[in-house]
Amino acid sequence: MSPKHFLNFKDFSKEFLNSIIERGLELKSLKNLPKTLENKSLGLIFEKPSTRTRVSFEIGVQSLGGNSIFLSSSDLQISRGEPVSDTARVLSSMLDAVVIRTANHELLDIYSQNSSIPVINGLSNLYHPCQILADLMTFKECNGDSEISKVAWIGDSNNVCNSYIEAAEIFNFDLNIYCPKGFEPNPEIMNSKKNNVVLTETKKDALKDAKIVTTDVWTSMHSENQSSEKTNLFKGYSVDPACMELADNSAIFLHCLPAHRGEEISIDMLDHESSKVWIQAENRLHVQQALLETLLLT
């Protein structure tokens, strides 16, 4: 049987993803975690720095009785020219699952095509699906059975935004994106979706009735060389408490972190009463534990 890979949302149903979110909430509520992943080994192959992704996966698998091994790209023979396909075949014989964090989504595709164990996207230049699972879990934790009706994305249409576009179709919520011209979502991802994803002309239009207001740094991990140019272009595309006044009165603010205070958010936004960012960050741990259980045990 072919392994289940988790590279983006497109191959999964709302019911499947909701089951992971529900299990994440259940695991979060337990004082004593079950050792469901006993004797399971997770490999983490990272090309880029990480705080939340690395720690949440490492602690997540260990807390459920498994173990992990961290491998930067320089630790592997890939750095010396070994084909990704060969590395995938070798590690498949030694590990039970792999998390990959890469600047090149194509590497994930090649790796998964040659892997006999589950491959999880820990972030690529195109998608960050684990982050959106945590976001959706955070909304449910804060709102119970209430459905998300609208999300406002303010700023750069990056990999996190792309995963929100996929989630909007699956979970049937409206996604309003307010971004500078020239920084719209990937056309292939945008054009393949239904009309519930809209590029708005003003920030006010994007925020109206939004249940989630979210953003990310203006300079993503793979575009640091554009920093000064983007800072000028993105003035006016930040989120502050005044923005939350334009959204639904129960709206929550989310940010995948790290955050640049004074750029994409105001100095006080992370600690605003609507901010659930610290809950959101912790939920990476719980929802990824649920994801690992689902991929490895079902």
Question: Is the separation of the CB atoms in 100 and 45 below 8 Å?
Answer: yes
Q: Across residues 240-247, what is the average pLDDT?
A: 98
Give me the pLDDT at residue 79, please.
Answer: 82
Give me the pLDDT at residue 48, please.
Answer: 87
Q: Across residues 108-113, what is the average pLDDT?
A: 97
Give me the pLDDT at residue 223, please.
Answer: 58
pLDDT in tens, 126-164: 999 999 999 999 999 999 999 999 999 999 999 999 999
Query: What CA–CA distance (Å, rounded) separates 137 from 21?
Result: 5
- Confidence class of residue 3 from pLDDT cuts 50, 70 and 90? confident
**For residue 149, how far is the Cα from the chain centroid?**
19
Question: Is the separation of the CB atoms in 250 and 211 below 8 Å?
Answer: yes
- pLDDT > 90 in the chain, percent: 87
State the chain's mean pLDDT as an integer: 94
Whether residue 28 is predicted with pLDDT greater than 90 in this model: the reply is yes
Query: What CA–CA distance (Å, rounded) separates 257 from 289?
Result: 20
Q: When comparing pLDDT for 78 and 244, which is higher?
A: 244
Peptide bond into 118 cis (omega under 30): no
Give me the pLDDT at residue 78, please.
Answer: 86
Q: Residue by residue, what is the 3-state secondary structure of the chain?
A: CCCCCECCCCCCCHHHHHHHHHHHHHHHHCCCCCCCCCCCEEEEEECCCCCHHHHHHHHHHHHCCCEEEEEEHHHCHHHHCCCHHHHHHHHHCCCCEEEEECCCHHHHHHHHHCCCCCEEEEECCCCCHHHHHHHHHHHHHHHCCCCCCEEEEECCCCHHHHHHHHHHHHHCCEEEEECCCCCCCCHHHHHCCCCCEEECCCHHHHHCCCCEEEECCCCCCCCHHHHHHHHHHCCCCCECHHHHHHCCCCCEEEECCCCCECCCECCCHHHCCCECHHHHHHHHHHHHHHHHHHHHHC
pLDDT in tens, 192-237: 666 799 999 999 999 999 999 999 999 865 555 556 778 889 999 9
Rg for the chain (alpha carbons), in Å?
19
- pLDDT > 70 in the chain, percent: 95
- Look-up: residue for tokens 């630790």? 75
Residues noted as catalytic: 101, 128, 131, 216, 256, 284
Q: Across residues 17-35, what is the average pLDDT?
A: 98
CA-based nearest residue to 216, from 251, 273, 265: 265
pTM, entire model: 0.95
**For residue 49, how far is the Cα from the chain centroid?**
15
Whether residue 185 is predicted with pLDDT greater than 60 in this model: the reply is yes
Q: Across residues 183-188, what is the average pLDDT?
A: 90
Handedness of CA 99, 100, 106, 112 (dihedral sign): negative
Domains in the chain: ranges and CATH = 14-128+284-297 (3.40.50.1370), 131-280 (3.40.50.1370)
Give me the pLDDT at residue 159, please.
Answer: 96
Q: Across residues 24-50, what is the average pLDDT?
A: 97
Give me the pLDDT at residue 221, please.
Answer: 56
Question: Is the separation of the CB atoms in 117 and 180 below 8 Å?
Answer: no
Written as six digits, the tokens of 73 are: 């790209």
Q: Across residues 258-271, what is the average pLDDT?
A: 97
**For residue 251, how far is the Cα from the chain centroid?**
20
